[in-house]
Amino acid sequence: MSFSASVADERVLDVQSTDDTLSVSLRDGRVIAVPLVWYPRLLNATPAQRKNWKIAGGGYGIHWPDLDEDLSTKGLLRGAPAPRICCPVHSKTRLVCPRCIARKGGNTTARRHSHEQLSAWGARGGRPKKKSDG
């Protein structure tokens, strides 16, 4: 007895959103619907900003250039909400600040840098490159 198993194609075909739901259609016919509250950047965006999306990552991701937000079909299928931001700085810079690390009892080299310094680096696109001795 022989049968053919359908191959799952988890690449993005289309993205739609309402005021409270994000729906992602996959090439294999499945539709993933998740609550927008899982993704605060999308929830707080205008409908026009949510409509401005692009397929990324070889078809396995979605990028919103106006919002600097990226989601993967793997994460959506897993049902993974966006990581919680522990302070207002993180929502803008995506850098971990020493206050938040210390609150969680962590140990990292980021403790050397002030909250304000990390904020400034994030506004300029990240930590400056070290100069090489040459």
- pLDDT tens digits, residue range 81-99? 876 655 555 555 555 565 5
Q: Model's pTM, two decimal places?
A: 0.60
**Cα separation, 100 vs 23, whole angstroms:** 33
Question: What pLDDT is recorded for position 8?
Answer: 84
Q: Where are the domains of the chain?
A: 12-78, 88-123
One-letter amino acid for residue 41 of the chain: R
**Cα separation, 103 vs 110, whole angstroms:** 13
| Helices vs. strands in the chain: H and E counts, helices first | 6, 6
Domain 12-78 listed as CATH 3.30.2020.40? yes
Question: What pLDDT is recorded for position 97?
Answer: 60
